[in-house]
Structure 1
Amino acid sequence: MPQGGRPRRRDPTLQADRGDEVAQGVPVAPRCAVTAGPVGAGGMGTAPAGAGPAYSARSYRPPVSRLWWLRRRSYFLCMLRELSSVFVAWFVVFLLMLVDAVSSGPVAYQEFLDWSARPWVIALDVIASAFVLLHAVTWFNLAPTAMVVRLRGRSVPPCGTHSALRVVGGVFGGCGVGDLAMTTQKRPARGRSTPRSLEPAAWLLFSTGGMAAALLIPVLLVLSGVAIPLGWLAAPDHSHLLSVLHHPVTLLVLFGLCVLALFHWAHRFRFVLYHGLRLDRAGGVIEVLCYGGAVVGSVVAAYVLISAW
């Protein structure tokens, strides 16, 4: 061992000489200019200013598994919450089938009741009911947090003795979430113009649809998909359902519920594919399929409801 490497001695290989700024004796690298350019076969590189080609630096991103949401319980529950949008869309399909059967006559209505009483349909509706209930619970927990409720100049906490105000805030918080997404956009600087985006409108439809789904779909799906097929409740008379269905307010409410629920599914399922399955490279195709499916479903809902009227 060299003399300078012994205990309490300075090793010239580890100490800076003559008070240089580099602590480990590494000579100061010359100033380099990093400019945009291709990265060579040897990886990232730099070149002194004015000498040779310059290369661009790449930030390292560790690979993420498509099943990353299985690593923690909180991730898994979050993914279940996002997947509840699939069963929200299933309710729209189930509802339109019911409307079409009622409008087609007593025989078609009875056939629908027999079909909905099949074991696999009941099992599907039970699973869907569990997921839409999960959606309702998580939505009512989220909406008051996203929208600050003020009472007499003070913000109301989202828990504790103000649980009733929390529910009230949740009812009106759906539109607040969408408005928040619209109002928190960064304003462009003066003299600069930014291209308009449909993202705020998508968030508004998502939040309003989430609130409508949390309020109406759990009750309707449990009654029509579980309780009546299992015989817990008697099926409504066909003539009574037909008279209710012919009312313009009923058609308007059902159409609004279908449209909002479909766009809620489209927006949420889009991000499930983006972040859950790491398919962000196919972002354009996913957007077309999700929002296009919501538009097509809305047109089909309008056709079925108008035909029933």
Structure 2
Amino acid sequence: MNLTILGCYAATPRTFTNPTSQVLEIKNRMFLIDCGEGTQVQLRKNKIKFSRINHIFISHLHGDHFYGLVGLVSTFMLLNRVNDLHIYGPKGIKEVILLQLKLSNSWTNYNLYFHELESEGSEVVFEDEKVIVKTIPLKHRVYTNGYLFQEKTGDRKLNMDKILNLEIDQCYYQKIKSGGDVVLESGEVIPNSIMTFDPEPAKSYAFCSDTLYNEDILPIIQDVDVLYHESTFLESEAPLAGKTMHSTAKEAATIALKANAKQLVLGHYSTRYESIEKFREEASTIFQNVLLADDGKSFEF
């Protein structure tokens, strides 16, 4: 599971920082999460192939999280994209993107699908044979969702020494990997447990963008492998965090601790601070495994 941070700062772009956007690679799928201004430039800088992006997840309709979207949609068209593109986001995202395409006479030459979200509860928004994506309802000034990306448990791994010793025909291999037992010609039942090893543990990633401290999300993200949680402010600006419906580094760490997350990644920093290291220092007083997102930084989990 790989995470590339394209941008992770709050509010406005600067010459050396970018608003929120990141790419998650999980089970050979690539998902773009949020799309602030400059996203397509950051994709190029980080040598990420545009053609691999087929699903874009937008948390909410504040500009620093989606103002780069129509530009990316248009660039896909100029690159003669043929793959379908699916966009997930709050109700209204279809209207705002299609209006821009209409007024600029820039209709796409590929299929563009919008999945508009309105539910106040968690719901599955994407699922295939390897990955499932659920919303994480957040508390912000406008309707906002985070997203939980979960690998599905893979096939069991064959114990080839045992299988070859039992002279089990290859036609049974898929059944065995799927958890099935095998009945030999003699009538003996060979239990799956002695022919296989457990699959690799399924990984999970939770993206929690702009939000007040909100313990309601804990059942959804419980035991997550990696939690990205916004930390716009330090505790010294806690009143401002409450007023603007954002979180502090300590609050993000508290959520990670209560969720029993294995790893916390902080981001969405206010640009008022000279050093983001202060966010790690503050969060580490609550939760030990803290990483700092930064533009262009990649993590492998």
| Higher helix fraction (1 or 2) | 1
TM range (shorter): under 0.3
| Higher strand fraction (1 or 2) | 2
State the structure with more CA Rg.
1
What is the TM-score normalised by the length of structure 1? 0.22
What is the TM-score normalised by the length of structure 2? 0.22
Q: Which has the higher contact order (CA 8 A, sep 6+)?
A: 1
